[in-house]
């Protein structure tokens, strides 16, 4: 078909008519929509809006959080420190100094030692006259040459270190109030022993320099162990999922009463940021140190005067114990609170002042918190019987401890097939193998060694832990030990 014929054909006229109708219809539609306003997106959204119903309980919780923040924030401070920079923090040398050395450049002014600035949080906890005390973490102020704080209302003060305790990671700093200062808001300290898993808590501090931030969460767990320096710190921690980051250290963990129940201290994280695993020192572990810092400048720890350790299930079974909850006493220091009270090697301590001991860590912490010079009741299992001993707690003196005599100064454990194979001990050898000998102890001086197999105490055969300690304590001044060393039967005497 020719182009001219196509233009005049019936099909082409129908096609044109359809296209024209579509264009006219679209134009009319747009005009109508524009005139009656239904094209307006706002009117479409408004037509679908529904009233939002919020339960009163949610508003109550929100108001509670608001009130807590309002009450507690004025008692929180931002802690600024300046410390000597470590080798890793020292700035790189300029290229000229790298190649020629700093002393090779003539007329060079002396350079100041590099410094490191730190940031943390603190809590206003006490005021005596014009002196205001701030509780924070030891790792916030450690090695600091200059410490200052900024209050919630913007006031700034230079501080001095009152006292620090690395074992608990606590420090107390202070500043002097000015004559025209308005009243300081001190934090209300709660009772961390009342906490339960699931309780609501708020974390308040200065994470990453974002001053006076408030986050919320719950108590995820209690009595957590560990920390950045597990070998030093004796505290058990409150675990929370309230967001805690760098800069929160030393800040407050608060309950719904607005009471401080913890000092935010560290986080567990794979990347340096909060992943909901924050840890706080229970405030009850800080109450006495605060007063010790103010009075003495250091924390006074209560002292029992005994070596303590956990028992394995096998060892507990050997003693006839139904549980490993508690702490075993293998040795006693002479002329100490434990010795004077009649606690003996082989005793198993299950409670102090009625408080059950979970393990050795809980016992060490509990004894450390006991008031110096006061009496405490120790519940003990000895020879299958439960007895109590009243101990007068003394202050720990590290110098004196190093000079005290430890009795008997060794730990023994039953022979097992694994131990026999490991040490090459034949089945014909019976007794208790020496697992540890304390340096400079009575046993060490007498010549007992690890892997000796003790089979007699004062001529009486011993095969179990209760038998060994029963015979040991039956002769408190002098004991004759019979033992096997690499197949040779020997005996020595040890004196208390």
- Distance CA(38)–CA(277), nearest Å, equals 52
Strand partners, 348: 328, 381
What φ, ψ does residue 490 adopt, rounded to 5°? -135, 170
Considering the candidates 165, 169, 235, 241, report the single residue annotated as catalytic.
169
Structure token digits, residue 328? 């075993």
Structure token digits, residue 137? 């973490």
Considering the candidates 80, 139, 220, 441, report the single residue annotated as catalytic.
139
Structure token digits, residue 408? 């008997």
- According to DSSP, residue 189 is labeled B
- Distance CA(412)–CA(414), nearest Å, equals 7
- Distance CA(372)–CA(363), nearest Å, equals 16
Q: How far is CA 294 from CA 127, 300, 330, in A?
A: 11, 12, 37
- Distance CA(191)–CA(383), nearest Å, equals 37
Considering the candidates 121, 213, 249, 274, report the single residue annotated as catalytic.
249
Strand partners, 200: 218
- Give the number of other Cβ atoms within 10 Å of residue 456's Cβ: 18
Helix (H) or strand (E) holding 258: none
> Is-catalytic flag, 325?
no
- Distance CA(237)–CA(227), nearest Å, equals 9
- Distance CA(450)–CA(307), nearest Å, equals 18
CB 202 within 8 A of CB 214: yes
What is the per-residue DSSP string for 420-442?
Answer: HHHHT--TT--SEEEEEE-TTSH
Would you call 35 helix, strand, or coil by DSSP?
helix
* Enzyme catalytic residues: 139, 169, 249
């Amino acid at each position: 078909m020719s182009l001219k014929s196509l233009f005049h054909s019936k099909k082409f006229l129908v096609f044109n008519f359809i296209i024209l109708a579509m264009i006219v219809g679209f134009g009319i539609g747009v005009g109508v929509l524009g005139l009656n306003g239904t094209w307006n997106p706002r009117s479409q959204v408004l037509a679908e809006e529904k009233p939002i119903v919020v339960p009163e309980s949610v508003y109550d919780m929100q108001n509670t959080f608001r009130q807590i923040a309002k009450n507690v924030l004025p008692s929180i401070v931002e802690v600024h420190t300046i410390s000597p920079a470590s080798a890793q923090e020292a700035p790189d040398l300029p290229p000229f100094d790298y190649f020629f050395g700093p002393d090779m450049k003539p007329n060079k002014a002396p350079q100041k030692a590099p410094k490191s600035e730190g940031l943390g949080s603190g809590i206003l906890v006490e005021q005596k006259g014009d002196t205001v005390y701030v509780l924070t973490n030891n790792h916030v102020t450690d090695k600091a040459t200059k410490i200052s704080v900024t209050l919630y209302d913007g006031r700034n003060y230079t501080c001095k270190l009152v006292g620090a305790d690395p074992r608990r990671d606590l420090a107390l700093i202070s500043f002097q109030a000015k004559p025209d200062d308005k009243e300081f808001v001190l934090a209300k300290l709660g009772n961390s022993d009342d906490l339960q898993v699931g309780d609501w808590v708020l974390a308040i501090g200065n994470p990453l320099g974002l001053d006076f931030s408030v986050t919320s969460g719950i108590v995820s767990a209690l009595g957590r162990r560990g920390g950045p320096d597990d070998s030093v710190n004796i505290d058990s921690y409150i675990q929370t999922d309230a967001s805690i980051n760098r800069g929160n250290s030393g800040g407050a963990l608060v309950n719904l009463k607005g009471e401080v129940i913890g000092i935010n201290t560290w986080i567990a994280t794979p990347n340096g940021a909060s992943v909901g695993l924050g840890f706080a020192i229970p405030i009850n572990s800080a109450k006495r140190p605060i007063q010790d810092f103010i009075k003495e400048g250091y924390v006074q720890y209560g002292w029992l005067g005994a070596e303590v350790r956990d028992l394995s299930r096998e060892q507990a079974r050997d003693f006839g114990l139904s549980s490993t909850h508690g702490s075993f006493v293998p040795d006693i220091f002479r002329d100490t609170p434990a010795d004077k009270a009649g606690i003996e090697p082989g005793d198993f301590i299950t409670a102090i002042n009625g408080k059950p001991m979970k393990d050795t860590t809980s016992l060490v912490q509990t004894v450390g918190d006991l008031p110096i010079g006061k009496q405490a009741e120790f519940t003990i299992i000895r020879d299958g019987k439960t007895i109590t001993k009243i101990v007068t707690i003394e202050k720990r003196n590290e110098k004196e401890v190093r000079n005290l005599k430890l009795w008997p100064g060794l730990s023994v454990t039953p022979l097992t097939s694994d131990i026999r194979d490991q040490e090459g001990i034949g089945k014909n050898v019976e007794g208790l193998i020496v697992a540890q000998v304390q340096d400079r102890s009575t046993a060490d001086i007498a010549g007992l060694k690890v892997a000796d197999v003790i089979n007699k105490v004062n001529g009486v055969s011993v095969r179990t832990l209760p038998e060994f300690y029963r015979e040991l304590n039956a002769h408190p001044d002098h004991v004759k030990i019979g033992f096997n060393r690499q197949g040779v039967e020997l005996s020595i005497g040890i004196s208390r």
